[in-house]
Structure 1
């Protein structure tokens, strides 16, 4: 197993970067290796990826997700076996550091290609540049999913305090 990590700064607020990242179906619009993403359930996605003539489909389970903080996943099944995490850190009011860390378990002939750290790192770096251009070009997210996932399970949202619309008179 080896780890690939890349970081990029994007010129949008952390909530904008995070919100767009949660729109998995939009990934084929800006990522060259991602051909299709299907959101089966909030914590389960099916990915179709292609590099040259090699095409692979796999499912990924989101194991941890915290709004404006991180998304962590692991693949299900045999190919390609990896787990990863993307983190979002505000660097200014309108800037965000996005870091993607992927742990790859090379298996078979395709796994041998993913086992070349420089190649995997270069692909990840290029895809993050595409994300940067995409989100900065839009200026705002095309959608958002603000739920929290722990151990692969969607957590109920915290109830918001009830605020009455009835004006309160100052107590004298």
Structure 2
């Protein structure tokens, strides 16, 4: 099986700390990446998360899940993970300042093409790029509306 990388980036009109804190809440990711049906941090092991993906594409209902290790983040710079079991993937979200009130968000997802999708592997790259790009657009709107809990 071969690995493919997909990277999308977008400038977002929020301070880097806001974008970083929004993405750091992994359980909120399905709010802007609707093809992810759920992300759950394991209560007894907060460095692990269980991800579920459901999407209809290429005439098939696709469903995959995986357990990921949430790698140590670098505050306001990088959030990254790698799967431990299930769908083989890894990825990173990087944050670059663009002044005091905006930042560049770069999302890279690397994945092993599942056997089921190998006949359409060449179509998968632009499809995934489009899907992730639309997700970043939704993330930009989510981050602009984000209000941290004031306790």
Specify if TM > 0.5.
yes
**Aligned-partner SS, 1:59:** strand
What is the aligned residue count?
Answer: 141
**Aligned-partner SS, 2:29:** helix
Q: Whose helix proportion is higher, 1 or 2?
A: 2
Match of 2:47 in 1: 43
**Aligned-partner SS, 1:130:** helix
Let me know the Cα RMSD of the aligned residues. Answer: 1.9
**For 1:142 and 1:20, how far apart are their aligned partners in 2?**
12
How do residues 1-172 of structure 1 correspond to structure 2 at under 5 angstroms? 1-40=3-42, 41-52=45-56, 53-77=61-85, 79-110=86-117, 116-136=124-144, 138-141=145-148
**Deviation per CA, 1:5-39, whole angstroms, max 9, x where unpaired?**
11011111111100010111112222210111111
**Aligned-partner SS, 2:27:** helix
Structure 2 residues not aligned, in runs of 5+: none
Give the greater-gyration-radius structure (CA). Answer: 1
**For 1:67 and 1:16, how far apart are their aligned partners in 2?**
11
Structure 1 residues not aligned, in runs of 5+: 144-172
